Every structure is written in structure tokens, then in C-alpha cells.
Amino acid sequence: MSFLNLPEDTTIFIFSLLPANKVAGLCSVCKVWNAILQKEDIWAIFCKKNSVKKEHPTFKETFVKWYGVFKDCAEVYPRIKNLYDRLLVWAKRMGFDLGLRPGVKWETFNEVTKTIRDITQDQDYHFPMDFACWYLLTNGDTDGCLFGSYSFYDHIAEVKALPLEDIVQYTKKLKSSNLVGLIPIAGCMKTKVHLLVKSPIEDFQSGQIITTGNGCLFPLAESYEAYLHNHIVQLETGNYGIKDGAICLFPQLNIPTAVTNHVKITASPLFIPERSKPGQYLWSYSITISMSPDTPKGHECQLKSRHWEITSDRVEEVNGEGVIGYTPKMFPGAVFSYESCCPLGIPIGSMKGSFQMVKPDGTYFNAIVPEYKFTVPKIISLRDLQNQPKPKDSNDNNSSKDPK
């Protein structure tokens, strides 16, 4: 059978697998194909594949006008648009205001690119297409801190996606520093900055996302798309929650858990790159102590002291009164959370311990704090994201319980 004599629906299916710019040229091959390409079916498929809403009388007109603007990033745009839509679905489900600004026009983005070229004196530079596509959808956030936040003591990190105008201003500031070949794209400039690698430096390649350390740099993701994808997966699965009206980066799923005499303790560690450098690494950790509302009476107690066993290149024991100056009381329905930090001389370690609790009758018991690991996160890759299973919404696999 000649290819020209295939059933129309088969021909449309084959055309839909081709790049849009190749399909347009098929109109001149023969009258049969030209007739097929005048119909709405094929263009409706292309609109759906690229997440393009019908904004003109026909799907063909809609797609042709969209393609005229996005042809340079037509391959990447559908994936980035899918991530953007997933983010909006998550925000709507959670009732969370992301504070996203409207996207910019392609012409505006090109103007910013020219400005960055002038600042960096690199006339051949182009932003990666995944980054460009995201800013066509949203020009950063206002006060929503899209990429999350965390705090411990007086250290506060609120990672917002910078608007293009801020990226330009901060790139000018970086020009006078040693951070050559990098463009700031996210962060709170006083505490933490995420950077896009403009040109290869040290161990980093163009297009990678890295973050500032204490006089050094740490890798985050192989690309902006990988960084976005991972962040949105963490939100969708509930591994990142909302605390005090902001996205909290302390993990919530599959975290170490222990229960002693109805006192439940969970621990969630987080690497702090902006306060770390080779030979001096810092992790923060969030501890939550709680007692279930249905706990029988007679199990009330109060935290009096703490004991820690910290393991890295050596084992260190720490004892002290209360936790960060508090001695919280536990009763049915009570919840107490706090954040602290732990410095280590090597990029791996662990911490475990116990809280001494006293009951109203004066008797004591040790509530176990489960062991939690300190590691430096590996660079995020799209391949790993596609292969990894979704986290289970349960602490059971990491919990230890003793008899009540």
C-alpha cells in the first residue's frame, strides 16, 4: 500500500509524531496531504501536545500563532508548561498563594538576554531554553518564596524566584565579585542565592543550577527543568509542607520516628549549603514532639533535659537542660516543634539521642529521639526523577516503638 493511500486517521497519527515545522512543509507534497492538513484534527492534536489553549477561531490558527512566538523552544515548552500547570493545581488544592507574576513576552526576554550579554561581555550567550520557557509563563514571584524557606535561630532563608529585572541588577553586582560566569536566579540575597551556570567553571557545566556556600559552591541540579521538576514533585507528594504561610523545605515524608510512653518524636534534617564549605558542613534539623489527642489520661509529662550522640569522624555526646531554652509539656493533643543545627567536619554523619521526661508523680523516663542521617544531597537529574518511586505518605517504615 502506498503511503499516500493510508487511511486518513492513520496519516494524521503519523503526522502528529513529527515536529510541527516538518508537518507544515508537507502541504506541498500532494493534494491528499494538503487536504488533511487543512482539517482541524491534526492541529487540535498539536495544540494538546503543547498545552496550547484554543484562543482563535480554529486550532490551526491558534497553533500557527503560538508557534510563531515559541518556535525556538517548541520542544522544551510543553514540558515546562506541564510543570507550571501542575504547580498551579497543587497551589489551588492547598489554598496557597504562590505570588507568581505574569510571564514576559519573548521580545522582553530577548532584551534581557542582550543586557546580560553586555554586563558579562559575552555576546554569544543564550539563556537555556528551559529557563526561558519558565519566564515566558511567569516572571518570578513576589513574596511567595516559590522555592521554599527554612529557619533556625536567627538564620532565615526564603528562596524566591527572582524577576528578570532583579536578575539583571544582581548580575551587575556579581560582576565585581569572584562569581564570574554565573547568573543569580533565585534566593534571598542576604542569606542564600541560587545561580545559573552561564559558562563552564571549575566542576560545573553550562545550564546547571548551583548554590552559594560559605566561600564555595554546591551543585543543585543538572538543569533548571530538573530543579523545577524535583521541587514540584516534593510539593505534590507532601514531602514539602506549608508552615507559617510559606513552603517549608524540611522533609515531611519517611522521616525517622520513635514513640516512647505515648510521646512521639520525629526528626527531619536539612543540609545548609550557605553556611558550609569543605571541612566545615552544617545541617539544620527540625524536631517535633507530640502526643496523640486520644492518649489516655495519666501520660502527661514534661521535657527536662536532652542527650545527644553525634557521629561523624568521631562520636561526641552532648547533654543539656531543655531544648533551645524550652521545657515543653506533653498532654493529649500537644505538639511542640523546634529547629536547631549541627556542624560537622566531614560531609556525612548522624545524630540520635533522648529527652528526659518527668511525669506529674515525679517519675522519669527517656523518650527516644530516632537516629537521623546527615548527608550532602547529590545533584538532581531528570533521569533520576523519572526512575524514582513516589515517597510513601507514612512514617511507619522508619519508626521505632517501645511498649507503652
Of the candidates 250, 203, 231, 271, the residue with the CA atom closest to the CA atom of residue 380: 231
Q: Is the dihedral of CA 286, 250, 102, 85 positive or negative?
A: negative
Which residue's C-alpha cell is 538532581?
Answer: 380
Residue 231 clears pLDDT 50, i.e. is over it: yes
| Whether the predicted pLDDT of 124 surpasses 60 | yes
Region 118-145 average pLDDT: 88
How much is the average pLDDT of 174-193?
Answer: 77
Write down the pTM of the prediction: 0.83
Q: For 354-389, how does the pLDDT look when each residue is reduced to its tens digit (9 = 90+)? A: 999 999 999 999 999 999 999 999 999 988 887 765
Residue indicated by cell numbers 536532652: 306
Domain residue spans of the chain: 3-73, 78-232, 254-376
Bridge partners (DSSP) listed for residue 281: 344
Q: Which CATH number fits domain 78-232: 3.30.300.30, 3.90.700.10, 3.40.1580.10, 3.40.50.300?
A: 3.40.1580.10
What span, in angstroms and rounded, lies between the C-alpha atoms of 401 and 395?
12
Contact 323, 287 (CB under 8 A): yes
Return the pLDDT at 395: 42
- Write out the three cell numbers for 25: 512543509
Same CATH fold, 78-232 and 3-73?
no
CATH class of 254-376: mainly beta
Average pLDDT over every residue of 312-329:
96
Reported as a single tens digit per residue, the pLDDT across 59-83 is 888 888 877 767 777 778 888 999 9
pLDDT at 247: 96
Contact assessment for residue 230 and residue 377, using Cβ atoms and an 8 Å cutoff: no
Mean pLDDT value across residues 254-262 = 97
Q: How does 44-62 read in b/e, with b if 16+ C-beta sit within 10 Å?
A: bbbbeebebeeeeeebbeb
The percentage of residues in the chain with a pLDDT greater than 90, rounded to a whole number, is 57
d(CA 268, CA 342): 12
3 state SS for the chain = CCHHHCCHHHHHHHHHCCCHHHHHHHHHCCHHHHHHHCCHHHHHHHHHHCCCCCCCCCHHHHHHHHHHHHHHHCCCHHHHHHHHHHHHHHHHHHCCCCCEEECCCHHHHHHHHHHHHHHHCCCCCCCCHHHHHHHHHEEEECCCCCCCEEEECCEEEECCECCHHHHHHHHHHHHCCCCCCEEEEEEECCCEEEEEECCCECCECCCCEEEECCCCEEEEECCHHHHHHHHHHHHHHCCCEEECCEEECCCCCCCCEEEECCEEEEEEEEECHHHCECCEEEEEEEEEEECCCCCCCCCCEEEEEEEEEEECCCEEEEEEECECCECCEECCCCEEEEEEEEEECCCEEEEEEEEEEECCCCCEEEEEEEEEEEECCCCECHHHHHHCCCCCCCCHHHEEECCC
* Listed residue (200, 348, 204) closest to 276, CA to CA: 348
CATH level 3 topology of 3-73: Monooxygenase (1.20.1280)
Evaluate the CA torsion angle 12, 16, 21, 22 in order and state its sign. Answer: negative
